[in-house]
Structure 1
């Protein structure tokens, strides 16, 4: 079975999607003259150093600010993949994996900006002021006028995203980490994690947004500070580590220690796949929450998309990867959170590292599961938009059940003794489907995105607050 799943991943994550991911990001970068680099500091200043007071948190609790929407999106992307996922990727593909994650993020910033901007442009605003949007909306409104069979894209995207609900790996990853610290059985610890997720999700979207707005900066800064400490005390090895990362990205890595060796293709495929799973650029997920924010222009929210990728991959994933490579643990033969714990132990001590990584994994995964609830919620709102009674029932069922789907994978691995590699292979399969769909749609709507971007650079003459979908720039 593992061999079969690996062959499926090899096809889905073969040259077509790898070129598609990097190519789409590169295409948007080229046609905008690498906007994400030219205006990086402008985006950073706009997002994190706002001129106007009150832009971070709303006075009206019914509103969602750009900062809050970004917090939910970043919290939804920063998760187990940033700790256990990065470690597993390096253990499988070698240090070069980190280089391909950087490349995915570099061009992925522009992909994310495009999908977030389009999500805001094509979103729907209800009479009560509530805003909803995302790929399903720009598929319908953007492609619906041009392609008769646009509904097929919507179905494929919806199925691919909901596979992530059924096969969520966070509960098992947290349970595994807590098992290292406490010795209790993984399935029981995973169940505890699911209950903690329920405490947030059962409070509805307002509680999810408030939780992410507080937890995202707290957990990110905590992890970065401790990781930076280990990097600093090993600073003398940084040049050699960077050289190894770059060299391993383009040449096969021979077996050493417990590392089995890796080809160029394995390193590239693993790095790009894990980069996508981490920052979700091109996946079409975070645009659904970005579309709910109040903003003056679609591009303003798009800049938050650029910062989302930067924080997730260039900062958090790099901290994990550098610590693992600098300490030499990458070739030890272990993977997952155990590898990350062993690497952090070089500066924090084995016991403290185990506690710290367990707590970090818990916080990261906690915000991921609760953040993803908003994505599933958005999709169901769209699917049942014409049937209010069914929509209310579906959203109620989603709220009650979402926290506990993670137990499926925990049960498969801990009780049925399914190989842990199956889990990540299935995750890779399910993430590829909506990505294929979203990348195609983004390319077809690239002209619209460029027109919106030009309008913003021309002082935003076409756009006022809200109702962007009434202005046609196609």
Structure 2
């Protein structure tokens, strides 16, 4: 079974998807003259230093500010992949994996901007008067009138996303990390984590939004500060580390120490795959929450998509990767959160590093699970949009059960002694299916995105002022 699943993952995550991910980002970068780079500082200033401070948070329960929507999206993407996922990728493919993660993020900024923009553009008001949108909406409203098989795309996307609910890896990952510092059984620690997620999710979307708006900046700053400290005390080794990362990105890596060696294809595939799993650019997940933002123009929320990828991969993942490479732990033969703990222990001490990574992993995964609840919520709103009683029942069941699906993986591995690779292979399969669908749809709607961008910038303008989009959907 493991060989069969590995074969399927090899096909789905083979050259087709890797080229698709990079190709889509490169295509949109080219047709917009690398908008995400030319206007990076404009986007940064617009997102984090708005003219009106009141736009950051809102007391109106019927409205979600652009900042709050972005916090939920960033919190949903910053998770175990930024700590254990990056470490496992480097342990498998070597330092060159970091380079391909950077490249995926560089063009992924544009991909994320496109999908967020389209999600805001094609969104609708639900029966309660709230904004809702995402890939299912731009599949139907953007392709429905000219592509008769759009329903198949919607089905594949929905199934792929909900597979992430059934086999959510965060509870097991957190349980494994806490086991290292407490010695308690993983299943019990995973159950505690699920209960903490329930405390947030059972409060509904407003509590999820409030939680993400508070926790995302706090946990990110703490991780960046301690990671930056270790990088600074190893500052003299940075040039050599960067040279190693770039060189090994294009050449096969020979076995050294506990590192088994890796081919060029394995290095590139691992870096791109983990880059996607981390920042979710092209996956179609975070546009679902971005669509709820009370934003003036679709492009303005698209800027938050650029910042989302930047913070997740260029900042957080780079902190993890650079610490592992600089401390020389990358070829130690261990992987996952254990490798990250060993790397951070060079500057923080073994005991403190173990607690720090365990707490960081807990916080990152906590916000991921609660953030993803909003995605499942959005999909069910779409599926049952024509039946208010069924929608409310489905959403009530989702709210109650979502926190505890994560126990399934923990139970399989800790109680049934199932090989952990089975679960991760299924996770890889489920993440690839909606990505294929979303990338195809983005390309088919590329003319619409360009029209929205031109509308925002206006004739002869270097940078738009954010008036309402003149290109309207019925």
The answer to whether TM tops 0.5 is: yes
The alpha-carbon deviation at position 469 of structure 1 amounts to: 8.0
Which residue of structure 1 aligns with residue 21 of structure 2? 21
Contact 1:112 1:302 in 2 (8 A): yes
Q: Is 1:255 aligned to 2:226, yes or no?
A: no
Distance of 1:128 and 1:154 partners within structure 2: 23
| Separation (CA, whole Å) in 2 of partners of 1:358 and 1:372 | 21
CA RMSD in angstroms, aligned pairs only: 1.4
Q: Please show how residues 285-434 of structure 1 align to structure 2 within 5 Å.
A: 285-434=285-434
8 Å Cα contact 2:452/2:471 also seen in 1:
no
Q: Is the 8 A contact 1:124 1:469 kept in 2?
A: no
Give the whole-Å Cα distance in 2 for the aligned partners of 1:367 and 1:426.
22
User: What is the correspondence of 1:59-138 to structure 2 with a 5 Å cutoff?
Assistant: 59-126=59-126, 128-138=128-138
CA contact (8 A) 1:296 1:464 kept: yes
In 2, Cα distance between equivalents of 1:327 and 1:424: 27
- The answer for the alignment partner of 1:452 in structure 2 is 452
Q: Please state how far the C-alpha of 1:295 moved relative to its aligned partner.
A: 0.9
How far did residue 412 of structure 1 move?
A: 1.0
What does residue 242 of structure 2 align with?
242
Asked if 2 retains the 8 angstrom alpha-carbon contact of 1:73 and 1:289, the reply is: yes
Do the aligned partners of 1:279 and 1:312 also contact (CA within 8 Å) in 2? Answer: yes
**After alignment, is 127-136 or 368-377 more displaced?**
127-136
Which 5+ residue runs of structure 2 have no aligned equivalent? none
Q: CA deviation at 1:421?
A: 2.4
Deviation at 1:248, TM superposition (A): 1.0
Change (3 A) 1:144 1:463: farther
For residues 167-191 of structure 1, the C-alpha deviation after alignment (integer angstroms, 9 at most, x for no partner) is 1000000000000010000010000
Q: Which runs of 5+ in 1 are unaligned?
A: none
CA contact (8 A) 1:134 1:288 kept: yes
Distance (Å, rounded) in 1 between the aligned partners of 2:411 and 2:244: 38
CA deviation after TM superposition for structure 1 residue 129, in Å: 3.5
Partner of 2:468: 464
CA contact 1:156–1:437 (8 Å) conserved in 2 = yes
Task: Give CA-to-partner distance per residue, 1:109-150, whole Å, 9 cap, x none.
Answer: 000000000000000024654100000000000000111111
Contact 1:123 1:469 in 2 (8 A): no
Contact 1:43 1:304 in 2 (8 A): yes
1:420 is displaced (CA, Å) by 2.1
CA contact (8 A) 1:177 1:337 kept: yes
The Cα offsets for residues 286-335 of structure 1, whole Å up to 9 and x where unpaired, read as: 00000000011000000000000000000000000000011111101111
Q: Normalising to structure 1: TM-score of the pair?
A: 0.97
The answer (yes or no) to whether the contact 2:282–2:438 under 8 Å persists in 1 is: yes
Q: Tell me if structure 2 keeps the 8 A contact 1:175–1:189.
A: yes
4+ long deviations beyond 6 Å: 459-462
Q: Secondary structure at the match of 1:435?
A: helix
- CA change 1:247–1:394 in 2 (3 A) is same
Indicate the SS of the match to 1:54.
helix
**Residues 173-212 of structure 1 correspond to what in structure 2 (within 5 A)?**
173-212=173-212
- The match for 1:225 is 225
Counterpart CA distance in 2 for 1:157 and 1:62 is: 28
CA distance in 2, matches of 1:191, 1:342: 26
Conserved 8 A contact 1:463-1:471: no
Q: Provide the rounded CA distance (Å) in 2 between the counterparts of 1:471 and 1:397.
A: 33
Structure 2 Cα separation of the partners of residues 127 and 139 of structure 1: 20
Cα deviation, residue 471, structure 1:
4.0
Q: Does the CA contact (< 8 Å) of 1:80 and 1:361 recur in 2?
A: yes
CA distance in 2, matches of 1:59, 1:17: 42
- Which of 1-10 and 90-99 deviates more? 1-10
Deviations 1:392-416 (A, max 9, x none): 1110110000000000101111111
Q: Contact 1:96 / 1:248 at 8 angstroms: preserved in 2? A: yes
The alpha-carbon distance between structure 1 residues 361 and 260, as it changes in their structure 2 partners (threshold 3 A), is same
* Aligned partners of 2:457 and 2:465 also within 8 Å: no
Q: Higher mean Cα deviation, 44-53 or 414-423?
A: 414-423
Distance 1:128 1:381, change over 3 A: closer
Give the Å deviation of 1:388.
Answer: 1.2
The range that moved more, 369-378 or 239-248, is: 239-248
CA distance in 2: counterparts of 1:183 and 1:462, whole angstroms: 54
Give, in whole Å, the separation in 2 of the partners of 1:182 and 1:76: 27
Distance 2:313 2:110 in 1: 14
Aligned equivalent of 2:56 = 56
TM-score normalised by length of structure 2: 0.97
